[in-house]
Amino acid sequence: MLTAKQQQLNDILEEIAKSLDISPSDFLKAQKRYDSVGEWIIDGYNAGDYPNSLCEPEVFLQGSMRLGTAVRPFRDGKDADFDIDLVCQFAEPKKEYNHKDIKSQTGRRLKNHADYKRMLAEEGKRCWTLEYAEDSNGIGFHLDVLPCVAESPTDISNMRLYTSAKEKYIIHSIAITHKDKENNTYSWKPGNPKGYAQWFDEIKQPALNLIIEAKSQAIFENNREFFASKEEVPQYMVKTPLQRAIQLLKRHRDMRFASHELGDFKPISMIITTLAAKVYENEHDTLSALLNIINTINSHNVLLENRHVADHSITMKKLIEKRNDGMWWIENPVNPQENFADRWHENNQVRARAFFQWLGWLKEDIYTFLHTENIVECSNRFNECFGERDVKKAFSEIGSKYKNQRNEGKLKVNSNGILGAEGATVLGHTFFGE
């Protein structure tokens, strides 16, 4: 049970996460763009643009849009575009040297479309990127197209035999092309975005089941111009406390590391998302999820000094390890051979140090909020952590909510003056004045 202070802080944090998230109307816009590009890529098969494919490619969404953890990125001190990550899996076998062809045929197909040709950026290491112009509301997008093929049966077999990877995930393994820009050579890298998304969905499902009815209804009511009924609201739009916690963590990281000397070594989103999901214990509110994540992961900071994490119930979860060879390990839950912390040992452990520094800031910030006795004075700290624009938006939304509640006769006040759900009803009135 949350105390009154915790409940209120939770409400503020959830509202901030909502402000940071992609709005329903922008999400639908992103979806339309994704669908158009996807269709164009799929039609390339019938147009004969993929001579070695056995059938149409499969197109699917990955990344934070797929997981429901997107926040507007903050780079170089300002808001950057939302990322849409599209995976294009060709129906071709993985061969020793066809990585370059896979990548090129994707680029060629995109350039065959007059608009996409114009929007296409220079070839990336793994993707082709389409840059969309900023809309009137100042929101920009870019869409990364990631060409790949299914992982070879031999490699999957090896995973099955020699690792503890679960069957239900490894069957989705893919081989991604990787371009070494300096030498202009290509290689294969392993990946499993579908498996990862499935793992993540399984973790958030219980919480989602609890809230989906009520939250779909609320989204429908606030966005009637886009949906005819509650049933039309896509499940992706309903966010659980785990997702909200991840959004806040990512944004906090972006804000706290902006113009910081350790900024280049800030933790990657994959690490934040994976650790948060591994720790999540089905908390029903964002604040509790955050506190659990912060405290559990912070206990690993002893590893910096090569000491051991004392609590066995925590080490069992295999969150962050430091192995005998001095390598830090954060295992990909769907591919135990992949290590998200493979660069943490470099440069005198600078990335590891940056990670725990960030956790320290996070803990201090959250505990300051929790113990504040003056929300106005504290608002500056909220601004530092999450960005002034989105914090203001969040508080404005809270103001509107309370006003609507009062107008509907649902706002109450208790004997200390605290407004909320308890006490006597606040009667309708109109503020006046000069």
Question: Do residues 180 and 157 make contact, with C-beta atoms less than 8 angstroms apart?
Answer: no
Minimum CB distance to another protein, residue 15 (Å): 12
Q: Is 1 in the site for another protein (CB under 8 A)?
A: no
Q: Is 405 in the site for another protein (CB under 8 A)?
A: no
- 407-426 residues near another protein, rule: CB under 8 A: 407, 411, 413, 415-420, 424, 426
Nearest CB to another protein, comparing residues 96 and 434: 434
In angstroms, rounded to a whole number, what is the distance separating the alpha carbons of residues 129 and 199? Answer: 27
Minimum CB distance to another protein, residue 369 (Å): 8
Question: Do residues 232 and 251 make contact, with C-beta atoms less than 8 angstroms apart?
Answer: no
Q: What are phi and psi of 306, to 5 degrees?
A: 60, 25
Report which of 297, 268, 280 is spatially closest to residue 199, judged by C-alpha positions.
280
Measured at the CA of 41, the angle between CA 39 and CA 46, to 5 degrees, comes to 90
Nearest CB to another protein, comparing residues 403 and 410: 403
Tell me how far the alpha carbon of residue 368 is from its chain's centroid.
25
**Contacts (Cβ under 8 Å, ≥6 apart) of 128:** 103, 106, 107, 110, 120, 121, 144, 145, 147
Nearest CB to another protein, comparing residues 146 and 287: 287
- 357-386 residues near another protein, rule: CB under 8 A: 369, 372-376, 378-379
Q: Is 432 in the site for another protein (CB under 8 A)?
A: yes
In angstroms, rounded to a whole number, what is the distance separating the alpha carbons of residues 427 and 410? Answer: 9
- Out of 157, 385, 398, 422, the only residue in the binding site for another protein (CB under 8 A) is 398
In the shown chain, the binding pattern of residues 7 to 46 toward another protein, with x for contact by CB under 8 A and - for none, equals xxx-------------------------------------
Minimum CB distance to another protein, residue 78 (Å): 21
Nearest CB to another protein, comparing residues 161 and 427: 427
Nearest CB to another protein, comparing residues 189 and 412: 412
Q: Is 428 in the site for another protein (CB under 8 A)?
A: yes
Helices marked H in 311-374: 312-315, 346-371
Would you list the DSSP string of 237-260?
G---HHHHHHHHHHHHHHHHHTT-
Nearest CB to another protein, comparing residues 268 and 419: 419
In angstroms, rounded to a whole number, what is the distance separating the alpha carbons of residues 381 and 376? Answer: 10
Segment near another protein (CB under 8 A); pick from 48-56, 246-254, 262-270, 390-398: 390-398
In angstroms, rounded to a whole number, what is the distance separating the alpha carbons of residues 351 and 12? Answer: 31
Q: Is 197 in the site for another protein (CB under 8 A)?
A: no
Torsion of CA 370, 374, 378, 382, to 10 degrees: 60
Minimum CB distance to another protein, residue 395 (Å): 5
In the shown chain, the binding pattern of residues 324 to 363 toward another protein, with x for contact by CB under 8 A and - for none, equals ----------------------------------------
- 147-186 residues near another protein, rule: CB under 8 A: none
In angstroms, rounded to a whole number, what is the distance separating the alpha carbons of residues 307 and 294? Answer: 19
In angstroms, rounded to a whole number, what is the distance separating the alpha carbons of residues 357 and 298? Answer: 10
Q: Is 49 helix (H, G, I), strand (E, B) or coil?
A: coil
Segment near another protein (CB under 8 A); pick from 22-30, 162-170, 236-244, 392-400: 392-400
Minimum CB distance to another protein, residue 136 (Å): 22
- Out of 43, 221, 400, 422, the only residue in the binding site for another protein (CB under 8 A) is 400
In angstroms, rounded to a whole number, what is the distance separating the alpha carbons of residues 87 and 412? Answer: 50
Q: Binders of another protein: how many residues, by CB under 8 A? A: 43
Residue 64 has a CB neighbour count (10 Å cut-off) of 22
Question: Do residues 385 and 255 make contact, with C-beta atoms less than 8 angstroms apart?
Answer: yes
Segment near another protein (CB under 8 A); pick from 4-12, 143-151, 219-227, 314-322: 4-12
Question: How many Cα neighbours within 13 Å face the side chain of 14?
Answer: 19
Nearest CB to another protein, comparing residues 131 and 397: 397
Residue 144 Cα distances to 59, 107, 129, 177, 325, angstroms: 12, 12, 4, 14, 36
Segment near another protein (CB under 8 A); pick from 28-36, 71-79, 203-211, 389-397: 389-397
Minimum CB distance to another protein, residue 411 (Å): 8
Rule CB under 8 A: which residues touch another protein?
Answer: 3-5, 7-9, 369, 372-376, 378-379, 391-392, 395-396, 398-400, 402-403, 406-407, 411, 413, 415-420, 424, 426-434
